[in-house]
Structure 1
Amino acid sequence: MAASFLLAVLPPPELATRLQAFRAAHHLQDAAAVPHLTVKARSGLSPGLEWQQTLRAVVARHAPLPATLGGPRLFGNGTALYVQARSPAAVALHVALLDALRERQDRVRFFGYEGPGLTLHLSLALQRRGVALPDVLRAAQTEFADLEGHPLGFTADAVTLMHKPGPGGFYAPLESWPLLAGAQVAGAQAGRPARPPAPQ
């Protein structure tokens, strides 16, 4: 598989540090190495980046995203261990991004889990040979018991474009796209109306 891209919200730095420390302690090495909450998976995001300007414009028009992160769970099909996430605003942005891609591509195909019923989540570990996710789940439930009782609330003011170079790699931040409030501030500081950045 060639290089791939996705759009995500990054969790608060303090939680990201805790998640990465947990992964290191349990020798977890997979594409979820940088904690992130996906708002648009790689489907429809071709390596040529011709969609970039369109989706940047969608992000720049969308308000910041309130979200909460809760306790760890395992998907029913056993493919991933994740931290629960809730954000109706992020789901709304996800749907807006899908709509924008449909408008510019006649036959774009999305993953079956994408759409209004998207289950937001922050992957902690992915299914891999030699990794017993049920065991890792039990350890995560102990480590992150505080999130189970008191979900962590935060508001994202940007969406991050993330890039994975190919098989065996992981998604890493490439650039940050400000949401509406951040775009307005950037525009005001520049002495001109806010607008989406030009594509790289």
Structure 2
Amino acid sequence: MSPSHLLALRPPPDIEAQVVAFREAHGVRDAAAVPHVTVKARSGLDDHLCWLALVPAVAAATPPVPVELIAPRVFPNGSALHLPARSPGAVQLHLDLLDALRPTRRFGYEGPHMTPHLTLALGRRDVNLDALLDAARLAFPQPLTFTATDLVWMRKPGPGGAYQPVEGWTLGSTPDP
């Protein structure tokens, strides 16, 4: 199986440490090991990497993105426990990336109705998301806010791997020639 790619906003070190501590305390080990808010999932992000040439211009045209991570939830389909991200800027960045990349096929959750979020745990057979939800409500009782200043390319090497940052672009800056 080939690698997977996504584009994301990363939280600052203090919020990242909270999320990592929560995951470690509950034995969560999955592809979301490095905390991030996905703004563009895999569609159109293939292994040929031609899309990489388009990303710096989108990042340069995007001002830093305010993000508010609100009360933990589980997606209705049980795919993940997450902190929803209230962020019109993240949704706009998602739409701008869709416009620039023009993927031939899109996921049903892409578009203006996209739900930006930070995954705390993926839904898997061996994971009790309801119990984790209760623990997450205690661990994250108040909204967490930050302003994302970089768009980050993250890559997962294949099944069973975790997404890791590869490269980043400063939001609102002129791309290198």
Paired residue type of 1:114: E
Residue 14 in structure 1 maps to residue 6 in structure 2: no
Aligned ranges 1:94-109 → 2 under 5 Å: 94-102=94-102, 108-109=104-105
Whole-Å Cα distance in 1 between the matches of residues 48 and 146 of structure 2? 33
Name the counterpart of 2:91: 91
Whole-Å Cα distance in 1 between the matches of residues 89 and 24 of structure 2? 32
Deviation of 1:38 (Å): 0.3
Name the counterpart of 1:191: none
Deviation of 1:158 (Å): 0.9
The Cα RMSD (Å) is: 1.1
- Please, which runs of 5 or more residues in structure 2 have no aligned partner? none
- Please, which runs of 5 or more residues in structure 1 have no aligned partner? 184-193
Structure-1-length-normalised TM-score:
0.85
Deviation of 1:133 (Å): 0.6
- Bigger helix fraction: 1
Paired residue type of 1:41: A
Whole-Å Cα distance in 2 between the matches of residues 84 and 96 of structure 1? 20
Whole-Å Cα distance in 2 between the matches of residues 41 and 79 of structure 1? 15
Aligned ranges 1:116-135 → 2 under 5 Å: 116-135=112-131
Structure exhibiting the larger radius of gyration computed from Cα positions:
1
Name the counterpart of 1:176: 168
Moved over 6 A (4+): none
Structure-2-length-normalised TM-score:
0.96
Paired residue type of 1:129: R
Deviations 1:132-190 (A, max 9, x none): 11011111111111x2xxx222111111110100010010111111111xx2xxxxxxx
Overall identity of the aligned pairs, in %:
54
Whole-Å Cα distance in 1 between the matches of residues 163 and 31 of structure 2? 6
